[in-house]
Amino acid sequence: MTRLTTCLDAETVAARAAAHVVRELHRAREQRGVAHVALSGGTTPGRTYELLAAEPADWIGAEVWFADERCVPPDAEESNYRLAAATLLAPAGIAPERVHRMRGELGPGEGALRYARELCEHLPTEDGGLPVLDLVVLGIGPDGHVASLFPGAATLDAGEGEVCLGVCESPKPPPERITLSLAALRSARGCLLLATGAGKADAVSAMLAERSRHVPASLLRRERLTVIVDDAAAPDGPLP
């Protein structure tokens, strides 16, 4: 079952999320000697990253990946890598060789192909051959999208062996992106989803209801999903 935590405000969400990430980093290192964590963009994850940067020692033995990226240069304002670099990677002194960014400047096709290859080369795999991340940090859009997997998109129908996908017609600008596949997100040992503000309340409620291609977040593996929201974004009533 999905683990749902509600907090008073966005700052408390970020603090709880940072504590969860630290626990998962420690658990992965204790069990496997290394922690593989994928990051996302967004305001709420960004504040979480700032809090995580305060303890650089927590990131010893961690490899940093990304859940999705816009097809822009790494120094562009829209770049998820740029956000992570400014809020976490540089302040925490994480070595560049341990940061695996999606190369959005290569375009969706070539960028996705190279990232899938890199993931498969560095990560352990499960029986189906998919690389297994220890933790993926995700936001959720008002439409229920996660990473760059949008409602009803063809990317949701990608085969179970697909790891990383190019997106050419995103409904949110910019239109070209790279994203982990749904199969890759579902293969992760854990996903942490963050939501704050009343504008996300309907999406959170829909995610926790029936599984639907119209709400990609609802397709995540619920037994591996931790959701932390503020009171404004919290769903009404008990979990289904």
Domain count, the chain: 1
Asked whether residue 137 is assigned to any structural domain, the reply reads yes
Asked whether residue 240 is assigned to any structural domain, the reply reads no
Residues 30, 33: Cα–Cα separation, whole Å: 6
pLDDT averaged over every residue in the chain: 95
Compute, in degrees rounded to 10, the torsion defined by CA atoms 39, 40, 43, 46. 20
- Residue 42, Ramachandran bin (φ over 0: left; ψ between -120 and 50: alpha; else beta): left
Q: What is the pTM (predicted TM-score) of this model?
A: 0.95
Asked whether residue 239 is assigned to any structural domain, the reply reads no
Residue 120: CATH number of its domain: 3.40.50.1360
Asked whether residue 44 is assigned to any structural domain, the reply reads yes
Structure confidence by residue, pLDDT tens digits, 114-145? 999 999 999 988 767 899 999 999 999 999 99
Structure confidence by residue, pLDDT tens digits, 143-168? 999 999 999 999 999 999 999 999 99
- Cα(first)–Cα(last) distance of the chain, in Å? 9
Structure confidence by residue, pLDDT tens digits, 89-122? 999 999 999 999 999 999 999 999 999 999 999 9
Asked whether residue 224 is assigned to any structural domain, the reply reads yes
Residues 165, 10: Cα–Cα separation, whole Å: 31
Domain that holds residue 208: 3-233
Asked whether residue 238 is assigned to any structural domain, the reply reads no
